[in-house]
Amino acid sequence: MRIACVYWWCHSVGGIGTHLNSIRKAAIDYGDKFDILHSMPWKNKKPKVFDKRKWVLGGDTRIWIDGEIPQNEYAAKWLEKNYDAVVFGYLCPNKTKKYKEPDFLHIYNIKLPKVAWVMDGYFDRYPEWSKSLPSKLLAVFCPLEQYAKPLKNAEVETVISAFPFHPLKGKRPKRSDKPLLVWPNQWKEIKGVTKFLEIVPDLPEDTAVELYSTGIRYFQLRHTDTWRNAVDKDIYHLGGDKYNGKGRAIYVGNVDVPDMHKSLCRAWYTCNLQGMKSKINTYSSGSYNNTEVEALYYGALPILHNSGLKTALPPSTCLWVSSPGDIPQVVRDANRDKYALDPERQKLGKEFVMDTHLASHRYLDVRRVLES
């Protein structure tokens, strides 16, 4: 099967890039063609597939793409000629972009089987003109049930299909000899990044901290005392020692997916505070992300807020906190007991990922719908 994955550009793609590349690898393993096509609101350019894949920077996250496609009538005809089906990386672009309804509909109206992913719980906040898009699809795939709830009145089948995970191939680094806490998330307040930085100075002295990814809050926080108290070195930014502080954390920044996976092989802990109750993340409370899936597979111990998350992940595979201020003591206790290294916990976490999240299985969810 020849599948075109239309990926709308937006400022912040986060785990969507990881998601699409995992699905692409699974499709290729299966023997299918799966091209991720970077779509932009161009009027006069022609579609093209590259001889060699390229990185693009979607604001704060990089993603591999196989080609580029404008949003016009010619692009729609080109897709119909060169592919058997279309998968939309997510239902529609960020509403802040200069996309207009007619630009979209050229592609959504093509005479090919079409499906899309919805990667958040915000469908009822999407632009009004986009509310008709689900009716043009065979199905919409959601990684979590709460993401499907706002679609309950849409004229489309919703399929719960968990985050796809494609394991790292080749040699993996050994676990760090000393406790290592890795922050693998985007730098957004929805992830609780500021609250996390505030507790870094209070972590046990024997616990190293590495900060990955980037985002708007990185550029805002690095000028603050919160940053200077938490961060020792910023090795990502090219400004020399300008953003070094007096803390203990090392800011690594954006890395390729294999390198991120290698950091999780070394890590004892990861942290994501997305479950905290607040106005900004009401829609994501109780959710979990690719970063937790990856951490569990490689044996790291996720530290998560306990607002609803326990119903989604095996409780004993993670550490749960009621507030960010609990993290230092939780880590101190876990260091003493070496709970992160507990083989039974690691086995249970990996089995959960293997049973629920393998990209080879999640790709077949999509393929079965397209085949039908």
Q: Strands 157-160 and 208-212: what pairing? A: unpaired
Q: Name the token pair of 41.
A: 């609101």
Other C-beta atoms within 10 Å of 340: how many?
A: 24
> Do 150 and 274 fall into the same domain?
no
**Both tokens assigned to 228:** 């200077």
Q: Is residue 173 part of a domain?
A: no
My answer on whether 151 and 184 are in the same domain is no
Looking at the fold, whether 43 and 21 belong to one and the same domain comes out as yes
Query: Are 158 and 43 members of one domain?
Result: yes
Q: From first to last of its 372 residues, what are the pLDDT tens digits of the chain?
A: 999 999 876 544 567 878 888 999 999 999 999 999 988 777 778 888 988 887 665 444 567 788 888 878 888 899 999 999 999 988 876 554 555 666 667 888 889 999 999 887 878 777 777 888 899 999 999 998 888 888 888 889 999 999 999 998 889 999 999 999 999 998 988 889 999 999 999 999 999 999 998 888 999 999 999 999 999 999 887 556 778 889 999 999 988 888 999 999 999 999 999 866 544 444 555 568 889 999 999 999 999 988 654 457 888 999 999 899 999 999 999 999 999 999 999 999 999 999 999 999 999 999 999 998
- Note down the domain range covering 268: 180-356
How far apart, in Å, are the Cα atoms of 143 and each of 148, 149, 202, 262?
Answer: 9, 12, 35, 24
Same domain assignment for residues 291 and 154: no
In a domain, 126, yes or no: yes
The answer as to whether 322 is a domain residue is: yes
Are 211 and 341 in the same domain? yes
Query: Which residues, 6+ apart, have CB-to-CB distance to 170 below 8 Å?
Result: none
Please check whether residues 150 and 195 belong to one and the same domain: no
**Burial zone of 287 (CB within 10 Å; 0-12 exposed, 13-18 middle, 19+ buried):** buried
Both 157 and 187 in one domain: the answer is no
Query: Token match 């290592």: residue?
Result: 180
Report the distance separating Cα 120 and Cα 49, nearest Å.
29
> How many angstroms separate the CA atoms of 66 and 5, rounded?
10
Do 310 and 333 lie in one domain? The reply is yes
How many domains does the chain contain in total?
Answer: 2
